[in-house]
Amino acid sequence: MMMKRFLQRLRTNALVGSVLVCLVGAMALLSVFWTPYNPMGVALRQRLQPPSGAYLLGTDEFGRDILSRLMAGAGTSLLVAGLTVALALGLGVVIGLVAGYFRGWLDRVLMVFNDAMLAFPGILLALGVMVIVGANQWGIIVALGLAYAPTAVRVVRGSVLSLREKEYIEASEVIGNSGLRTVFAHILPNCVAPLVVLATSMFGWVILAESALSFLGLGVPPPAPTWGNMLASGRPYIETAAWLGIAPGACIALTLLGVNLLGDALRDWLDPRMEHR
């Protein structure tokens, strides 16, 4: 009985999650072909219009249609967040697996370097990287990817260290498997649960960090819209024209909710202990 109810909830979560993520994805895709207005078209006479029939979500301080900008910004925001998470996790998995599995001097060298990186606030680190790479969306991806990688390294290494003590890892050595096979066939798949949790929360951090960078004038350069820079530019008008901040804020919140629900469903689905089949 309880199991059934639990599965029911699991499916509902997965369903809500995928609907939200698909909606955002569809929005981004649609914006490539069509938006209600030109997302970068300035119309100073229409500035700071509240939501109405003509402008469904109102206009910003330059009279640009907020809905159009949200749609156009969806693609950039998702791309930046997705690629950043992929980069950070990719680095984290490789370095964390190597350090955790082989241990010894290699582990010590990698971890000293990693902890030094962790000692800097992420944004500060990202700022430094962006000065070198350049202030555009690729710069953001590289900068935030590098800034968040140390956290991923820590998570992966921690899991690997505890998994290493399991007898099935020793069994894999007894069978005659190479270190590489042991790592990829037996250790990595068992790290999936913490990795999925990390990836979904990181997705949120990145979207917010991107808006912080925009706020500092280092994000995706204007006039190109992202949810982050829309949120940042809406801040001065929070009392007079709240819709400027509410619309991108709601988009970020709903996307994060979707990603998190989907992540949880993915984690459970990958776990053989959950009887989902």
For position 173 contacting other proteins by CB under 8 A, the verdict is yes
The piece of 62-70, 96-104, 182-190, 210-218 that touches other proteins (CB under 8 A) is 182-190
E strands present in 150-266: none
Q: Are 24 and 255 in contact (CB under 8 A)?
A: yes
Tokens of 161: 């260290």
Alpha-carbon span 210 to 81, nearest angstrom: 8
Minimum CB distance to other proteins, residue 192 (Å): 8
Q: Applying CB under 8 A, does 54 fall inside the site for other proteins?
A: no
10 is a contact residue toward other proteins (CB under 8 A): no
Q: Exposed (0-12), middle (13-18) or buried (19+): which is 47, by Cβ within 10 Å?
A: middle
108 makes contact with other proteins (CB under 8 A): no
Alpha-carbon span 130 to 141, nearest angstrom: 9
From the list 9, 32, 170, 179, which residue makes contact with other proteins (rule: CB under 8 A)?
A: 170
The answer to whether residue 266 forms part of the interface with other proteins (CB under 8 A) is: no
Our finding on whether 104 is near other proteins (CB under 8 A) is no
Q: Tokens 């949200």: give the residue.
A: 70
Interacting residue with other proteins among 166, 184, 238, 250 (CB under 8 A): 166
- What distance in Å separates the CA atoms of residue 225 and residue 42, rounded to the nearest whole number? 13
Q: How many residues does the chain have?
A: 277
* Shortest Cβ 196–other proteins spacing (Å): 14
Residues 230-249: b if buried by 16+ CB within 10 A, e if exposed: bbbbbeeeeeebebbbbbbb
CB of 111 to other proteins, least distance (A): 19
| 53-70 b/e (C-beta count within 10 Å ≥ 16 → b) | eebebbbbebbbbbbbbb
Q: Which is nearer to other proteins, 69 or 186 (CB)?
A: 186
* Least distance between other proteins and beta carbon 167 (Å): 4
Is 190 among the residues that bind other proteins (CB under 8 A)? yes
Side chain identity at residue 14, one-letter code: A
Minimum CB distance to other proteins smaller for 208 or for 274: 274
Whose Cβ is closer to other proteins: residue 1's or residue 112's?
1
Residue 44 sits in the site that holds other proteins (CB under 8 A): no
**Count of residues that interact with other proteins, criterion CB under 8 A:** 19
Nearer Cβ to other proteins (102/120): 102
Q: In a 3-state reduction of DSSP, which class is residue 192?
A: helix
Binding site for other proteins (CB under 8 A): 1-3, 166-168, 170-177, 186, 189-190, 272-273
